[in-house]
Structure 1
Amino acid sequence: MIPAVLAPPPGASPVRLLCFHHAGGGASAFTSWTHALGPRWELFAVRLPGRESRLLEPRVTRHEQLLDELDAGLGPLPHTPYVLYGHSLGALVAYAFAQHRSRLGHPPLAVLVGACPPPHAAPPPLTADADDRRLLAALGRLGGMPAEVLGRAGILRRALDLIRDDLRLAQNLRAVPHEPLAVPLYAFAGDRDPMADHATMRGWSDCTTGPFDCHDVPGGHFFHSDPDFPVLLRTHLARLPTGLSRAFPEPSTDHREAP
């Protein structure tokens, strides 16, 4: 896991934003977020095994493996305020991690999820046992397979193997018992997302006893790659209720890199 961290300005309490990537993705999905969010955040883009700099590590496909991996990589976090954002597969990961940390007595301040049906909903038709043709067709509808990957057989094979293992993880996370959180949960739906529209994302309201809202945003399934989205996210975070707005002041324009 390689976090992107900015130093907070003097006197500001840093708040960590932990971001979890989509199936087949990696920490690089959030590379552009750091400056958009501003220097009062510590942005941690979580990189699961089997991709990018962790390419040769065994991939995680089960709930228990995932929690062990996150505990080992992220540490205890009890005294640092933090928020979770998960996109697609990452939404299920963020929810599972929030449940786990809540059971330990260290819940997040809030959980934000995008582009993913809630864990109790009927699973999407994209499954790990789909053949290559069906898998590629489904990924094409979502806009999730770059042309440069499609044109290189070896890279394509590795990409499909990675996506299949990530889909196995998603299936496993949907199969475990789900306990509603007691923290704010906010869902984001791309207005052109064929997998998780507004009505689908509203189903996340059953996953918390705390405040809930669902927001439409421009874009398809991968709307988080739009440079406007982290700016929108920053605005929502600054307005969170129950005192959270004090933890999420609007950032200044001072973008100093941490040493």
Structure 2
Amino acid sequence: MAPIHRSKKEHGVTNTRSPGAAARGGWIRRYHTPRGDAPALVCFPHAGGSASAYFALSAALSEGAEVLVVQYPGRQDRLEEPALTDLRELAEGAVTALAPWRGRPLTLFGHSMGSVVAYEVARRLERGPGPAPAGLVVSGNTAPSVERDQGVHRLDDEELMAWMSDLAGTPPAVLADKELLATIVPSLRGDFTALETYRHPKGSSVRCPISGYVGDHDPYVPHDGFLRWAEHTTAEFTVQVFDGGHFYIEEQVQEVARSILRDVSAFASRRPARDLPA
């Protein structure tokens, strides 16, 4: 990875400027080169998060998967673009960007807000063209049909960052950095606007299996709301609980990577005959 000229990342708030990343641009990042026959895994960041939030997980997964990380507009090398405030637009943008990989079934992984974006991408991929998604791994969030408008996107800048501090333990030094906050707040507000104004299309679901991950001390993901992910697939729904809070994935990278690779393998083994190569 190219040298990072300015980087601050504190549990869910990420701002990184890298010349190499800026040269790539667009929606998709691939930080590590996989083996030739590795299955493709697409990762979707949390609210306020950037693609680089998945760098460590990508490294841990690289022996077993081609990891494609989505970079939403309004952050890092896409800082000059306005953040999208409609979750459906985020999903549409990602689907369009994934066109070069549509010839094979994809596994989708999303944490927090990213889980709902991944779900909406899966719904669109199932309409074709190309193979349907192999499976969906959702982490740290309630099901799409659970309305989640806590009014976060309507807070003023200071209140918004204070809320993030409570959620993720953001140090006071970050909250006091006005220059950094000026780059973080627009994308963070845009993401929460997209998430809190999203309404699940009544009766919709995906045909691929869903695997749900959650931290056992996550105060923001009620147990009953998390289990409602089962209502959004006509296939299997499984659950795995990890030690930790909302950002357990940053503390247990290796264990999360092992679980994802097990799910990717399980998803591949159940693919219907029509999706298998001739």
Give TM-score scaled by structure 2 length.
Answer: 0.78
User: Are residue 167 (structure 1) and residue 231 (structure 2) matched?
Assistant: no
Q: Percent identity?
A: 27
Contact 2:153-2:192 at 8 Å conserved across structures: yes
Aligned length: 242
- Say which of 98, 105, 109 aligns to 1:85: 109
Counterpart code for 2:242: V
Task: Quote how far apart the aligned CAs of 1:63 are.
Answer: 4.0
SS in 2 for 1:25: coil
Closer/same/farther in 2, CA of residues 240 and 126 from structure 1, 3 Å limit: farther
| Residue of structure 1 in register with 2:6 after alignment | none
User: Are residue 193 (structure 1) and residue 248 (structure 2) matched?
Assistant: no
User: Are residue 233 (structure 1) and residue 233 (structure 2) matched?
Assistant: no
Task: Quote how far apart the aligned CAs of 1:218 are.
Answer: 1.3
User: Are residue 8 (structure 1) and residue 74 (structure 2) matched?
Assistant: no
| Residue of structure 2 in register with 1:29 after alignment | 53
| Residue of structure 1 in register with 2:139 after alignment | 114
Contact 1:5-1:44 at 8 Å conserved across structures: no
- Cα distance in 2 for partners of 1:189, 1:138 equals 21
- Cα distance in 2 for partners of 1:63, 1:235 equals 27
Query: What 5-or-longer segments of structure 2 have no aligned partner?
Result: 1-27, 272-278
Alignment of 1:11-160 (within 5 A): 13-105=37-129, 106-123=131-148, 125=150, 127-143=152-168, 145-160=170-185
SS in 2 for 1:209: coil
Counterpart code for 1:237: D
- Cα distance in 1 for partners of 2:83, 2:132 equals 26
User: Are residue 180 (structure 1) and residue 205 (structure 2) matched?
Assistant: yes
Counterpart code for 2:248: F
**Deviates most, 236-245 or 48-57:** 236-245
Alignment of 1:206-221 (within 5 A): 206-221=231-246
SS in 1 for 2:153: coil
Q: What's the CA shift string for 1:184-219, capped at 9, x where partnerless?
A: 001111111111144331111111111001211111
- Cα distance in 2 for partners of 1:86, 1:49 equals 17
Task: Quote how far apart the aligned CAs of 1:89 are.
Answer: 0.9
Query: What 5-or-longer segments of structure 1 have no aligned partner?
Result: 246-259
- Cα distance in 2 for partners of 1:69, 1:239 equals 27
**Deviates most, 54-63 or 69-78:** 69-78
Q: CA RMSD in A?
A: 2.4
- Cα distance in 1 for partners of 2:189, 2:141 equals 17
Task: Quote how far apart the aligned CAs of 1:65 are.
Answer: 2.4
Give TM-score scaled by structure 1 length.
Answer: 0.83
